[in-house]
């Protein structure tokens, strides 16, 4: 008799907060009014170059950012 191993399935439930100002949902572009619940998640812009987020450009003597993460607002319906 072989032993079966199953991995548990975890559902990631987004925490919701109450907004103090009007916002726009990143998914459906709906307006989130004051005192309504909303969630936030971060999205990645760009991609890493050689596994690094930023690098130093010797010609321009400046740091170059290849990837960054920003927080976006999600309405209650899209967060579910």
Residues 11-45: tens digit of each pLDDT: 567 889 999 999 999 999 999 999 999 999 999 88
Given a cut of 60, is residue 9 above it in pLDDT? no
Higher pLDDT, 58 or 3: 58
Q: What is the pTM of this model?
A: 0.66
Q: What is the DSSP letter of 76?
A: H
Beta-carbon contacts of residue 36 (< 8 Å; ≥ 6 apart): 18, 19, 75, 76
Q: Does residue 50 carry a pLDDT above 70?
A: yes
3-state helix, strand, coil split of the chain in percent (to 5) is 5, 45, 50
More confident residue, 9 or 21: 21
């Amino acid at each position: 008799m072989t032993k079966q191993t199953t991995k548990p399935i975890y559902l990631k439930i987004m925490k919701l907060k109450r907004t103090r100002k009007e916002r726009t949902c990143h998914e459906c572009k709906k307006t989130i009014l004051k005192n309504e619940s909303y969630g936030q998640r971060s999205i990645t812009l760009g991609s890493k170059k050689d596994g690094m987020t930023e690098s130093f450009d010797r010609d321009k003597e400046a740091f170059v950012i290849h990837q960054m993460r920003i927080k976006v607002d999600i309405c209650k319906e899209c967060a579910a």
